[in-house]
Amino acid sequence: MLGSAWYPEQWPESRWNADLELMQKAHMHLVRVAEFSWSRLEPEEGKYDLDWLERAVDAAGKHGIYVVLGTPTCAPPPWLTKKYPETLLTTEDGKHLEHSTRQAFNWSNPKYRELGREIVRQLAIRFGHNPNVIAWQIDNEYRSPSFDAGTRTVFQQWLKGQYRTLDNLNRRWSSDYWSQTYNAWDQIPIPASGDNPGLRLKWNQFVSDTWRSYQKNQIDVIRQCAEPRQRITTNTMGWFDGYDHYVVSRDLDFSAWDDPIGQRPFEPIRNGAAHDLTRGFKGKNFWVIETTAGPTGWAPVNTMLEKGEMRAVLWHDVGHGADAMSYWQWRDALNGQEQNHGAIVEVNGEPMPLYSEMTQVGREFDKAGPVLKGTVVRSEIAILHSYNSRWVLNWQKLNRSYDPIAELMSYYEPLHRLGHSLDIVQPSDDLAHYKLVVAPGLFVLTQDEAENLIRYVKAGGHLVLGQHSAMKDGDNSRWPQRQPGPLTELLGGAVQQFYAIKAPVTVTGIWGTGTADGSVEQLVAIAPEVKVLMRYSKSDGWLDGQPAAITRSVGRGSITYIGAALDDASMRRAAEWMLKASGVGPELPAVPEGVEVYRRVGIGKDVFIFENLASHAETLHLPHEMTNVLDGGRAANVTLARYGVVVMEDQTVVGGRESTTKGAANSAGTSVKITTGASHSLR
């Protein structure tokens, strides 16, 4: 579905039908409403005005438009914060905020939760059986914890539940260091930069658990009052690491995120990785609940996508598993903190130039919806991602240029370019159905997570560890073994020393000759069957001739450790080696540079989405005819102009089996071969 955020409370009711008619003409079938309307819904404590919202929801339904109802707790009304000032958050530097903006509430405060639960109850009673309401969004973009005295007490109680005794906490945090031993729970502070590593990690985990309980406070009352068909989500923010999204997503029905891609140039691979991250929170299709192609209003230079590019971006979303895309916002506001943000309709009610492009996409989604229904993204490769590791690595960098997301992308990008979709999941997930699992920067590894990875390898899986793997345990303490900690015995090798280097060092071996830069690790092969894949050339003496990458076969599986941040060309060769060693065949068709291809699979069909982001037209030659979903024709040749998109359905029989889900035919997509307009084969 295609939709938009709509704020009927900001406009005269006489304007609503005109807006909804424009949405209907654009083939939009979704609006998100009410997430910032608490002061309108409850103008005084205990006095509710929901009639206007019901009229808006019913008006949308008459135009064939479904509603996502946002709970309004992100922005409390002034009467609430004036009467209950304790509901406003305290910043890390001790400042108690006044009422001025959204996201200024105290997420742990009992009174705020009580008042929030009651407004949500009123909404759920009124709209929980409304046929036009299909989903709920809890709050909006969780962001800021509070550092007040009440939160500190709750944190101390949370720690007591985690550790049971102070002796246990002191031992696991090595609190004798710098005389940090606690003999009363109320001595434990909210951490600041430079505090005990265990304390800092547990604070972040507490923040995550508190967001989850804050959210569940509202989810529970919705589920008590609403029909089960009304699903529940919240809007996350891509790579934002203010809390552990896997934890907060546990109680949701599906995941969703805000993807403000208005800035040029659009980066399909990095943006696609954020999609895959979001898909991994629940392990299933997701929504892009906010996106924009217009000026964002907050960037240094508020550019917007080129004409035609937004259409390609929306299909890119679908290709990564999005089932709904909602634009932010429908109509520019006359006032407010987000003036001049991109919209589909101008303040005078006239469509912006982007409207025609959105209309085209809406028509296309109507055509493609029945074909895409029930299809999902299937991957044979997983990349492991850990908020614990990201937090700790960002606190304790050996090299200030190190970025854990950049390390993850250094593996993601070449694997994607070699024709593969990827899942981004946490190390505790069931990994049995993946042929290859890659773990870049898995700095923090618990014993349970380690045992999960060991089971995976011993069952025939292929595990590749990147730099910084398994140095810390779940308390942010050093494992007593050298890296990779509890995986050392399985690896049959270890990290002898880690280094930050100022200049690149040459590495040579099975992946040719390349360079490593930034941070490097000196490895040692302990078990006799361990193979050295790459070695450092002459450097600082310590690294000279030492292993940079090692591997060991374990039954039908294997474990590999890459201790160097390799250059792009070397990572490409390493990725090729990983795929061959793990037996992963190509899942996606080969395409020219600048063309993206995505695959969604369903029962008895593969759906391929091709889009051209290159500066020139490209012609793709398929080995047999497929059905063009958007025009209904059959074709074996496809020409894509710049930003062109084509959606092809393939129901051919491959090797005596239908091209279906990965479980039925692992290599279903490999039958599709693409050549460029020059007619030279790419696979």
Cβ atoms of 609 and 625 within 8 Å: the answer is no
Dihedrals phi, psi of 134, to nearest 5 degrees: -110, -15
Rounded CA separation 385/408 (Å)? 8
Rounded CA separation 388/230 (Å)? 32
**Does 331 share its domain with 235?**
yes
DSSP state of 351: B
Cβ atoms of 271 and 278 within 8 Å: the answer is no
Q: What CATH number does residue 363 fall under?
A: 3.20.20.80
**Does 388 share its domain with 368?**
no
pLDDT tens string 550-570: 999 999 999 999 999 999 999
Per-residue pLDDT at 656? 32
444's tokens: 């923090």
**Does 564 share its domain with 631?**
no
Binned at pLDDT 50, 70 and 90, residue 192 comes out as confident
Per-residue pLDDT at 643? 96
Residue 470, sorted as left (phi over 0), alpha (psi -120 to 50) or beta, turns out to be: left
- Residue 560 belongs to some domain of the structure: yes
pLDDT tens string 16-59: 999 999 999 999 999 999 999 999 999 999 999 999 999 999 99
Q: Is 597 helix (H, G, I), strand (E, B) or coil?
A: strand
Mean pLDDT of 646-671: 48
Per-residue pLDDT at 333? 82
**Does 413 share its domain with 495?**
yes
**What's the angle, vertex CA 328, arms to CA 280 and CA 299, rounded to 5?**
90
**Does 574 share its domain with 615?**
no
Binned at pLDDT 50, 70 and 90, residue 652 comes out as low
pLDDT tens string 74-103: 999 999 999 999 999 999 999 999 887 888
- Residue 676 belongs to some domain of the structure: no
Range 251-282 burial, b when 16+ CB lie within 10 A, else e: bbbbbbbbbbbbbeebebeebbbbbbbbbbbb
**Does 428 share its domain with 332?**
no
- Residue 678 belongs to some domain of the structure: no
**Does 365 share its domain with 443?**
no
Q: What CATH number does residue 610 fall under?
A: 2.60.40.1180
Per-residue pLDDT at 127? 98
Per-residue pLDDT at 623? 74
**What's the angle, vertex CA 96, arms to CA 36 and CA 143, rounded to 5?**
45
68 Cβ partners below 8 Å, 6+ apart?
3, 30, 31, 32, 33, 133, 134, 135, 136, 137, 289, 326
Per-residue pLDDT at 99? 82
Could you tell me whether strands 505-509 and 512-525 are parallel, antiparallel, or unpaired per DSSP bridges? Answer: antiparallel
**Does 247 share its domain with 386?**
no
Q: Tell which residue, 599, 631, 594, has the closest CA to residue 265.
A: 594
154's tokens: 């709750």
Per-residue pLDDT at 624? 84
Q: What CATH number does residue 458 fall under?
A: 3.40.50.880
Determine the structural domain holding residue 385 and report its residue range: 381-582
Residue 46: exposure state from Cβ atoms within 10 A (0-12, 13-18, ≥19): exposed
Rounded CA separation 229/131 (Å)? 10
Percentage of residues of the chain with pLDDT beyond 90: 83
- Residue 368 belongs to some domain of the structure: yes
- Residue 458 belongs to some domain of the structure: yes
**Does 312 share its domain with 432?**
no
Rounded CA separation 530/497 (Å)? 18
Q: State how many domains the chain has.
A: 3
Q: Tell which residue, 501, 654, 524, has the closest CA to residue 587.
A: 654
Per-residue pLDDT at 62? 98
Binned at pLDDT 50, 70 and 90, residue 660 comes out as very low
Percentage of residues of the chain with pLDDT beyond 70: 95
Mean pLDDT of 610-636: 92
**Does 554 share its domain with 435?**
yes
Q: Is 386 helix (H, G, I), strand (E, B) or coil?
A: coil
* Nearest-10 Cα torsion for 525, 526, 528, 532: 0
Q: Tell which residue, 633, 595, 640, has the closest CA to residue 614.
A: 595
Question: Within 10 Å of residue 506's Cβ, how many Cβ atoms?
Answer: 14
Which of 547, 582, 617 finishes a domain?
Answer: 582
Binned at pLDDT 50, 70 and 90, residue 262 comes out as low
Which of 527, 550, 582 finishes a domain?
Answer: 582
Least confident of 313-317, 444-448, 581-585, 592-596: 592-596
Which of 337, 372, 407 finishes a domain?
Answer: 372
Rounded CA separation 489/486 (Å)? 7
Cα–Cα distances (Å) from 533 to 155, 507, 516, 540, in that order, read 47, 10, 14, 20
Per-residue pLDDT at 664? 29
Between 653 and 456, the more confident residue is: 456
**Does 572 share its domain with 481?**
yes
pLDDT tens string 492-542: 999 999 998 989 999 999 999 999 999 999 999 999 999 999 999 988 889
**Does 533 share its domain with 665?**
no
Residue 671 has pLDDT above 80, yes or no: no
- Residue 587 belongs to some domain of the structure: no
- Residue 641 belongs to some domain of the structure: yes
Dihedrals phi, psi of 176, to nearest 5 degrees: -65, -20
Residue 398 has pLDDT above 80, yes or no: no
Per-residue pLDDT at 655? 34
Cα–Cα distances (Å) from 557 to 68, 415, 478, 533, in that order, read 46, 19, 28, 17
Q: Is 621 helix (H, G, I), strand (E, B) or coil?
A: strand
- Residue 295 belongs to some domain of the structure: yes
pLDDT tens string 273-311: 999 999 999 999 999 999 987 777 777 777 788 899 999
Could you tell me whether strands 657-658 and 645-650 are parallel, antiparallel, or unpaired per DSSP bridges? Answer: unpaired
